[in-house]
Chain A
Amino acid sequence: EAGVVQSPRYKIIEKKQPVAFWCNPISGHNTLYWYLQNLGQGPELLIRYENEEAVDDSQLPKDRFSAERLKGVDSTLKIQPAELGDSAVYLCASSSGGSGNTIYFGEGSWLTVV
């Protein structure tokens, strides 16, 4: 069974440019998360989806960040315009829901803004 797939793995962009990250969760997982991880820190939640509904986006900086999960499967996270401080790892995770289920992470998308 394929795990959580993210692309691109690495991205270098100039500040003020847009960037988008894509995530394909494990088949059948209706809960999808986007996390931000800065160097030397633990991941922090940006947004959580239950199917196609964003049920927790309180930590998403909505002035420049947006996300969507059309049809409740794949998801895209966009930053426009990117700032130097956005350089980080963007992790996607999924689970089948329920408090007793393991959460699985992708390999992450590593963003460098120059």
Chain B
Amino acid sequence: KQEVTQIPAALSVPEGENLVLNCSFTDSAIYNLQWFRQDPGKGLTSLLLIQSSQREQTSGRLNASLDKSSGRSTLYIAASQPGDSATYLCAVIRGSYQLTFGKGTKLSVIP
């Protein structure tokens, strides 16, 4: 059974700092990995999708990497802003479009 772990569970950083969120998974036979953002009381917003043949994806200040062999992905956020405060979830996608989520990392960016 696929297990997805996100460390740390919570993170607080001062505005402007660069930061890395971690996601690890136990079964490397995945198709894709997707990072989401969830604001309080809201649904999930897709940030980046990394296909299994790719090693990274970038969107603005966000960069996500994928290392299938080690079962790890990282989400790098550059020059963090208070508006980045949210819970970040990663989900691994394998056969039959099955998503398995981690519990998320709650990020607080302090002005």
Show the binding face of A for B, using Cβ within 8 Å: 4, 6, 31, 33, 40-45, 48, 55-56, 91, 93, 95, 97, 99-108, 110
B93 touches A105 (CB 8 A): no
B36 at the binding interface (Cβ < 8 Å): yes
In the complex, whether B75 has a CB less than 8 A from a CB of chain A is no
State A23–B4 Cα separation when bound (angstroms): 27
The number of inter-chain residue pairs (CB within 8 angstroms) is 61
Query: For the complex, what is the distance from the CA of A58 to the CA of B8, rounded to whole Å?
Result: 31
A-B contact pairs, 29 of them (CB 8 A): A31-B97, A33-B99, A42-B4, A42-B91, A42-B103, A42-B104, A43-B89, A43-B99, A43-B101, A44-B101, A48-B98, A55-B96, A56-B98, A91-B44, A97-B97, A99-B51, A99-B97, A100-B49, A102-B49, A103-B93, A103-B97, A103-B99, A104-B46, A105-B44, A105-B45, A105-B46, A107-B43, A108-B42, A108-B43
